[in-house]
């Protein structure tokens, strides 16, 4: 990799001290893989514990149902350890510092999704309204352009999608969607 | 010539208006999802299962699913050539030269060599499938539990060997899949494992739920972390096209050999456990690059680099069907969902399927020929339609996928808990993408793990706990020895390269989907 | 714009199939009025398993017959699938979420009775309002054509002498097939637990067939229809069927029943219908009448013939007594073979 502009030594030095990186190329070391490895290891140990526990209760015969859980969760722990060691050793350079702001959209989207499922199942808002609202919200969360540029497009699609599915399925295929406050 | 008669009967099955319609719907949806990023054949078939069950027509449904699989292979090339964003991971190799051709105003030639190559490869490989199927099925009748166990081991080893970029991350994905496969009642004793007191988990985690979570939910949530990275510019098609079917004389001359070589690579790789389509496409790319008489064009739009991988891509599909139909062994994520579809219809792929439902098996095989013709028609003259499809605003596309994912899972199970399990797996998938864990091994672990465990324990049970059952039968022993040999498979391209004295360009690795 | 919307909507329509019909909106009429004209709103029939299975087909046949024979009082019927754990998830939902709602029916069967025991389900069929049994299928015991067994007695004598001498193949653990093996071992005077340990569970009839033909298992147990084509082809031999009397298992001549072979045992894979707990007596009478009318309709007779189902109708108190007796018998045998 050659750069068109000569590197400015000052920021690199600063980054080096900040992140404690061993080489100038690794300006920022993300802690992501290390956290992920630790979480994986903890889950693995918990699952292995449960598998061994079940094995203690009933024994672990070769042809029995308790052997495979111990083998698989054992493998999980071993692989998680290998991954963690890898992560600690490499201090892998990541695509920038962990930016918490990049997680706002997916978290909101997930919340919208859960809300959508809950509304469908437990309330009388009904499928058509719920879907229209969800499509609008989802499209907004994935969109980077300003609202006024896309709002007409989004509205038309959201209503069209919800109504289209509703009419085709209830009228054509005889499949019933959750009815709600609308007469549809 | 028994196969020939069977195949004729198969054409009789498929050439009915209803089945032709299923085939047409299948290849159209397949092309559509192949063109669209974010939604692949595995996810599509998973979401279509509830519709399919309502239709109560296994033959028509499986013809449709096969059409989706094949169509996605065709459609994927359009996206990789015009957008440089492969719709499917098996189209990655195509995008390298294909996008360069498009940028130089040769998009039509690239699309044509991809489509015609796919047609040639699809047709030849389907003939091979028809020839191989009956002998394979006849052999499979004699398979016993220990043989199936050995086969599962072979598949598992090759999956492990191919996980690619990072062995550790690939193994972690595989282990996650194996763990998901353990959840639920043990099939042999009915004992609950890892159900955490949740009744909805007693039946295990449905493959539809897992695929929806991994692909639809995971992909969309991941996209949401970086919405600005969504590609939006489509390379315009140049006006008109020269030569026959947009290919000039020189293009035909440079394309036909790569088509045949791609076919020869794709079919056997597809049939191998864990074969899929990524490996043969990269091997084909490497091979064509090495053989090329125009080395300077590579990187700037060499037509061989499109013709070979696309042929390999499509030929691999018929290959995938060999173990799926005769042994019930899926070698790719999409094949795994198709296997689940058989299960929903209470059909077990394997030798019994050839005995019990010959009209289904041969109708399916015959439909591949018909589907290939349809796909050729869909992909060349109608290319403008697909270019328009590429312009669907991504935010709406992904939100739509979320709606179907949610409704699809709920429709299959009727249980809201399954929807939340899919969301949970989706969240895990976001982190898997963030930290570059491959997705496909999860699916194969989920399918192959229980297969391996169950057959191992069945073999032991049937032999009164005698472990020598795994070495006494010659077939079992051969398969287990093959598994040992398969550990060396990932080093194959390097070996070939060393023999030929060059470095390989592509590496053997699993992508996210086939 | 339209094309964009269409491009989204078309796959949408194709991708999405069944609804999420959960809410039954509308006020419940007074019990007496309900009895007078039942159903007074959309009738919900729950199939407590996935689409395509036996319960699902039964529920959809009921829906079809009720609508075609005009028994619904101008209302419609909907089928909805709730999968999981041999139907016990659907059972729990019926008992907890739909109490006192006479417009919620559920298909049930022998497999659920077994599932309640093996899954240690907190609710069982006694918590529901039994309505009727509708159909039944006999089980068949088959061996490979080259097997040394030609009668059920030879097989029974062998397992009595050595319970491990016979390897059995059939459907899922704790299901109808394994229940039959356990009951058969008991009737033959063999060690039921030791015999049931030799049972290998397969997922689906195709796998069981393959295992019998490859020689993995000695004997296969399954629903009669599953092996009919192989019996007809002469590839396998039917030793006995599990109904009261002998029946044709595919060979063209009747195979003897287990009872006729000298063992006091009858087992049918029956399916029926139940209502939620807490419905009033008049509502119960109305539901019973509806199912009675369903059973008597020519359309239902046609469904039975089309689906090759055996008519097995018991309703009201008779059905309740039958459910109770089956529950006791199945619980006993499953506990004895170590699956309770």
ipTM: 0.76
Q: How far is Cα B403 from Cα B216, in angstroms, rounded to an integer?
A: 10
β-pairing, C268-275 with C129-144? antiparallel
User: What is the percent of chain B where pLDDT is above 90?
Assistant: 5
Say whether the peptide bond before residue C41 is cis (omega within 30 degrees of 0). no
B86 band by pLDDT with thresholds 50, 70 and 90: low
Average pLDDT estimate for B70-80: 82
pLDDT at B275: 53
A129 band by pLDDT with thresholds 50, 70 and 90: confident
Asked whether the beta carbons of residue A113 and residue B175 sit closer than 8 angstroms, the reply is no
Q: Where are the alpha helices (DSSP H) in B328-462?
A: 333-344, 351-356, 358-379, 383-389, 394-413, 416-434, 440-462
Residue B395 belongs to domain spanning: 2-500
CB atoms within 10 A of CB B465: 12
The strand pairing partners of A29, in sequence order, are A93
pLDDT at B232: 57
- Which of A17-26, B51-60, B298-307 shows the lowest mean pLDDT across its residues? A17-26
Coil, helix or strand for B342?
Answer: helix
pLDDT at C265: 84
Coil, helix or strand for C189?
Answer: coil
Coil, helix or strand for C236?
Answer: strand
Q: Give the model confidence (pLDDT) of C218-267 as tens digits.
A: 899 988 877 887 888 788 888 888 887 777 777 677 788 888 888 888 88
Quick check: B499 pLDDT over 90? no
Q: Which residue among C4, C13, C20 places its CB closest to the CB of A177?
A: C20
pLDDT at B294: 78
pLDDT at A41: 93
Q: How far is Cα B36 from Cα B83, in angstroms, rounded to an integer?
A: 11
- pLDDT tens digits, chain C, 340 residues: what are they? 444 444 444 444 433 333 333 334 444 444 444 455 777 777 888 888 766 677 888 888 888 888 888 777 777 777 777 777 788 888 888 888 777 888 888 888 888 888 888 877 788 878 888 888 888 888 888 988 888 888 888 888 888 888 888 889 888 888 888 888 888 888 888 788 888 888 888 876 777 888 888 888 889 998 887 788 788 878 888 888 888 777 777 767 778 888 888 888 888 888 888 888 888 888 888 888 888 888 888 888 888 887 778 888 888 888 888 888 888 888 888 888 877 6
The residue whose two tokens read 């019994």 is B352
Q: How far is Cα C334 from Cα C279, in angstroms, rounded to an integer?
A: 32
Instruction: Write out chain C residues lying below 8 Å of B398, CB-based.
Output: none
Distance from CA of A135 to the nearest CA of C (A): 12
Q: In the CATH scheme, what architecture does the domain C42-136+269-336 have?
A: 3-Layer(aba) Sandwich (3.40)
Q: Which residue among C5, C16, C21 places its CB closest to the CB of A178?
A: C21
Distance of CA B458 to the CA centre of its chain: 29
Number of structural domains found in chain B: 1
Asked whether the beta carbons of residue A157 and residue B217 sit closer than 8 angstroms, the reply is no
Asked whether the beta carbons of residue A139 and residue B430 sit closer than 8 angstroms, the reply is no
Contacts of A169 (CB under 8 A, 6+ apart): A175, A177, C13, C16, C17, C19
Q: Give the model confidence (pLDDT) of B183-232 as tens digits.
A: 988 888 878 889 888 877 888 888 878 888 888 888 888 888 876 665 55
Query: DSSP code of C29?
Result: P
Nearest residue of B to residue C19 by CA position? B411
B509 band by pLDDT with thresholds 50, 70 and 90: very low
pLDDT at A177: 60
Q: Give the model confidence (pLDDT) of A94-106 as tens digits.
A: 544 556 777 888 8
pTM of the model: 0.78
Asked whether the beta carbons of residue C173 and residue B187 sit closer than 8 angstroms, the reply is yes
pLDDT at A40: 92
Average pLDDT estimate for B98-121: 85
Q: Which of the listed ranges B93-97, B314-318, C123-127 does the model predict with the highest average pLDDT?
A: B314-318
Instruction: Write out chain B residues lying below 8 Å of C16, CB-based.
Output: 47, 50-51, 404, 407-408, 411
A77 band by pLDDT with thresholds 50, 70 and 90: very high
Average pLDDT estimate for B79-92: 70
Q: In whole numbers, what is the pLDDT of chain A averaged over residues? A: 73
Are C238 and C140 within 8 A, CB to CB? yes
pLDDT at A168: 64
Query: DSSP code of B212?
Result: I
Q: How many CB pairs under 8 A join B and C?
A: 170
Quick check: B506 pLDDT over 50? no
Selection from B120, B127, B11, B22 nearest residue B68 by Cα: B22
Q: How far is Cα A104 from Cα C232, in angstroms, rounded to an integer?
A: 65
Distance from CA of C15 to the nearest CA of A (A): 10
Portions of chain C given CATH number 3.40.190.150:
42-136+269-336
pLDDT at C51: 65
Q: Please indicate if any CB of chain B lies within 8 Å of the CB of A132.
A: no
Quick check: A44 pLDDT over 90? yes
Q: How far is Cα A36 from Cα A18, in angstroms, rounded to an integer?
A: 22
pLDDT at A6: 39
pLDDT at B494: 64
C86 Ramachandran zone, left/alpha/beta (phi>0; psi -120 to 50): left
β-pairing, C129-144 with C219-223? antiparallel
- Which of A20-34, B169-183, B311-325, B332-346 shows the lowest mean pLDDT across its residues? A20-34
User: What is the percent of chain B where pLDDT is above 70?
Assistant: 84
Instruction: Write out chain C residues lying below 8 Å of A160, CB-based.
Output: 5, 9
Instruction: Write out chain B residues lying below 8 Å of C17, CB-based.
Output: 48, 50-54, 408, 411
Q: In whole numbers, what is the pLDDT of chain B averaged over residues? A: 80
Q: Give the model confidence (pLDDT) of B480-497 as tens digits.
A: 888 888 776 656 666 666
- Which of A4-8, A57-61, B231-235, C52-56 shows the lowest mean pLDDT across its residues? A4-8
C196 HSE (CA, 13 A, CB side):
29
Average pLDDT estimate for A133-152: 81
pLDDT at A71: 93
The residue whose two tokens read 């079940």 is A54
Q: Which of B49, B139, B190, B346 to mutate to test the interface with C (most CBs of C within 10 A)?
A: B190
User: Which chains contact A through at least 3 pairs of Cβ atoms less than 8 Å apart?
Assistant: B, C
Selection from B373, B379, B381 nearest residue B123 by Cα: B373
Distance from CA of A50 to the nearest CA of B (A): 8
The residue ranges of every structural domain in chain A are 27-98, 101-172
pLDDT at C10: 40
| B-proximal residues of A, 20-39, CB under 8 Å | 32-33, 36
A57 band by pLDDT with thresholds 50, 70 and 90: confident
The larger pLDDT score, comparing residue A64 to residue A17, is at: A64
- Which of A9-13, B174-178, B382-386, C238-242 shows the lowest mean pLDDT across its residues? A9-13
Instruction: Write out chain A residues lying below 8 Å of C173, CB-based.
Output: none
Selection from C144, C138, C136, C137 nearest residue C238 by Cα: C144
Contacts of B379 (CB under 8 A, 6+ apart): B31, B74, B75, B78, B111, B115, B118, B386
Q: Which residue among A47, A63, A117 places its CB closest to the CB of B416?
A: A117
In a domain, B508, yes or no: no
Q: Please indicate if any CB of chain A lies within 8 Å of the CB of C3.
A: no
pLDDT at B496: 66
B159 band by pLDDT with thresholds 50, 70 and 90: low
B165 band by pLDDT with thresholds 50, 70 and 90: low
Q: How far is Cα C271 from Cα C48, in angstroms, rounded to an integer?
A: 12
Q: Please indicate if any CB of chain B lies within 8 Å of the CB of C172.
A: yes
Q: Where are the alpha helices (DSSP H) in chain A?
A: 9-19, 32-58, 67-90, 104-122, 127-142, 147-167
Q: Which residue among C4, C16, C21 places its CB closest to the CB of A165?
A: C16
What is the dotted CATH code of the domain comprising C138-255?
A: 3.40.190.10
Instruction: Write out chain A residues lying below 8 Å of B465, CB-based.
Output: 62-63
Average pLDDT estimate for B281-295: 79
B79 band by pLDDT with thresholds 50, 70 and 90: confident
Q: Where are the alpha helices (DSSP H) in chain C?
A: 2-15, 31-36, 54-68, 88-97, 110-118, 152-161, 176-187, 192-196, 205-214, 224-233, 281-296, 298-307, 317-336
pLDDT at B42: 78
pLDDT at B424: 93
Quick check: B333 pLDDT over 90? no
- Which of A31-40, B182-191, B241-250, C64-73 shows the lowest mean pLDDT across its residues? B241-250
Q: Give the model confidence (pLDDT) of C30-77 as tens digits.
A: 444 445 577 777 788 888 876 667 788 888 888 888 888 877 777 777
């Amino acid at each position: 990799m050659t750069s068109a502009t000569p590197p400015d030594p000052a920021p690199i030095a600063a980054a080096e001290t900040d992140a404690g990186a061993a080489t100038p190329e690794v300006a920022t070391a993300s802690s992501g893989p290390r956290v992920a490895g630790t979480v994986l290891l903890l889950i693995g140990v918990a699952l292995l514990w449960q598998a061994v526990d079940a094995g203690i209760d009933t024994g672990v015969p070769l042809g029995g149902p308790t052997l495979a859980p111990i083998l698989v969760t054992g493998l999980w722990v071993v692989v998680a350890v290998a991954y963690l060691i890898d992560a600690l050793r490499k201090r892998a350079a990541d695509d920038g510092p962990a930016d918490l702001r990049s997680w706002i959209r997916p978290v909101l989207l997930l919340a919208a999704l859960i809300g959508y499922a809950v509304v469908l199942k437990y309330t009388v808002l009904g499928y058509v309204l719920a879907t229209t609202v969800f499509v609008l919200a989802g499209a907004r969360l994935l969109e980077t352009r300003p609202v006024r540029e896309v709002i007409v497009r989004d509205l038309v699609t959201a209503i069209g999608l919800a109504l289209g599915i509703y009419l085709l399925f209830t009228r054509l295929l005889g499949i019933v969607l959750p009815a709600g406050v609308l007469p549809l | 010539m028994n196969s020939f008669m069977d195949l004729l009967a198969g054409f009789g099955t498929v050439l009915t208006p209803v089945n032709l319609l299923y085939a047409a719907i299948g290849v159209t949806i397949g092309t559509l999802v192949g063109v669209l990023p974010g939604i692949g054949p595995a996810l599509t078939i998973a979401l279509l299962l509830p519709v399919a069950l309502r239709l109560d027509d296994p033959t028509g449904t499986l013809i449709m699913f096969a059409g989706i699989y094949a169509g996605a292979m065709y459609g994927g090339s359009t996206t990789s050539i015009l957008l440089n964003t492969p719709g499917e991971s098996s189209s990655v190799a195509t995008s390298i030269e294909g996008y360069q051709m498009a940028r130089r105003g040769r998009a039509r030639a690239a699309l044509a060599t991809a489509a015609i190559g796919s047609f040639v490869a699809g047709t030849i490989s389907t003939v091979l499938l028809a020839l191989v199927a009956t002998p394979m099925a006849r052999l499979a009748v004699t398979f016993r539990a220990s043989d199936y166990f050995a086969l599962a081991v072979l598949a598992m080893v090759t999956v492990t060997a191919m996980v690619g970029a990072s062995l550790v991350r690939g193994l972690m994905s595989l282990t996650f899949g194996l763990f998901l496969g353990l959840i639920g009642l043990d099939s042999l004793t009915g004992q609950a494992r890892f159900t955490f007191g949740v009744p909805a988990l007693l039946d295990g985690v449905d493959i539809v739920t897992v695929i929806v979570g991994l692909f639809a939910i995971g992909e969309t949530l991941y996209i949401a972390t970086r919405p600005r990275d969504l590609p939006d510019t489509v390379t315009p098609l140049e006006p008109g096209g020269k030569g026959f079917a947009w290919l000039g004389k020189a293009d035909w001359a440079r394309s036909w050999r790569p088509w045949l070589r791609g076919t020869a690579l794709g079919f056997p790789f597809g049939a191998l456990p864990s074969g899929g389509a990524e490996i043969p496409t990269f091997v084909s790319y490497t091979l064509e690059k090495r053989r090329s008489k125009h080395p300077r064009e590579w990187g700037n739009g060499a037509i061989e680099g499109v013709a070979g991988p696309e042929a390999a891509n499509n030929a691999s599909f018929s290959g995938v069907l060999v173990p799926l139909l005769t042994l019930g062994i899926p070698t790719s994520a999409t094949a795994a969902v198709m296997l689940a579809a058989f299960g929903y219809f209470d059909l077990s792929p394997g030798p019994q399927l050839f005995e019990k439902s010959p009209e289904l098996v041969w109708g399916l095989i015959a439909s591949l020929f018909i589907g290939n013709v349809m796909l050729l028609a869909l992909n060349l003259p109608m290319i403008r339609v697909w270019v328009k499809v590429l312009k669907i605003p991504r935010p709406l596309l992904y939100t739509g996928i979320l709606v179907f994912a949610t409704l699809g899972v709920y429709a299959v199970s009727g249980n809201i808990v399954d929807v939340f399990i899919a969301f949970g797996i989706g969240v895990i998938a976001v982190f898997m993408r963030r930290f570059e864990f491959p997705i496909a091994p999860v699916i194969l672990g989920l399918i192959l793990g229980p297969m391996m465990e169950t057959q191992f324990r069945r073999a032991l049970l049937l032999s009164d706990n005698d472990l020598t059952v795994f070495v006494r039968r010659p077939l079992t022993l051969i398969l287990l020895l093959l598994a040992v040999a398969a550990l060396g498979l990932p080093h194959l391209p390097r070996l070939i390269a060393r023999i030929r004295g060059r470095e390989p360009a592509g590496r053997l690795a699993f992508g996210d989907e086939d | 714009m339209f094309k964009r919307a269409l491009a989204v909507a078309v796959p949408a329509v194709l991708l999405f199939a069944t609804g999420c019909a959960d809410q039954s909106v509308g006020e419940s009429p007074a019990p007496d009025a309900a009895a007078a004209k039942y159903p007074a709103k959309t009738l919900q029939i729950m199939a407590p398993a996935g689409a395509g299975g036996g319960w699902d087909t039964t529920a959809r046949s009921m829906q079809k017959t009720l609508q075609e024979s005009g028994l619904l009082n101008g209302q419609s019927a909907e089928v909805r699938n709730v999968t999981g754990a041999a139907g016990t998830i659907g059972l729990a939902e019926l008992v907890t979420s739909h109490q006192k709602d006479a417009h919620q029916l559920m298909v049930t069967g022998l497999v659920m009775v077994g599932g309640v025991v093996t899954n240690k389900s907190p609710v069982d069929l006694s918590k529901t309002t039994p309505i009727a049994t509708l159909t039944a299928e006999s089980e068949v015991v088959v061996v490979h054509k080259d097997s040394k067994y030609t009668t059920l007695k030879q097989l029974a004598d062998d397992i009595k002498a050595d319970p491990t001498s016979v390897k059995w193949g059939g459907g899922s653990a704790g299901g109808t097939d394994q229940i039959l093996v356990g009951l058969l071992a008991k009737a033959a005077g063999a060690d039921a637990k030791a015999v049931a340990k030799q049972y290998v569970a397969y997922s689906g009839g195709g796998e069981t067939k393959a295992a019998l033909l490859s020689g993995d298992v000695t004997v296969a147990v399954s629903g009669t229809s599953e092996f009919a084509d192989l019996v007809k082809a002469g590839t396998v031999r039917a030793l006995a069927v599990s109904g009261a009397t002998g029946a044709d298992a595919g060979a063209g001549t009747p195979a003897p029943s287990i009872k006729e072979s000298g063992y006091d045992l009858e087992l049918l894979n029956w399916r029926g219908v139940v209502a939620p707990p807490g419905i009033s007596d008049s509502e119960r009478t109305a539901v019973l009448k509806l199912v009675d009318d369903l059973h008597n309709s020519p359309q239902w007779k046609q469904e039975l013939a089309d689906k090759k189902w055996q008519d097995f109708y018991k309703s009201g108190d008779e059905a309740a007594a039958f459910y109770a007796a089956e529950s006791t018998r199945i619980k006993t045998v499953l506990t004895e073979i170590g699956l309770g």
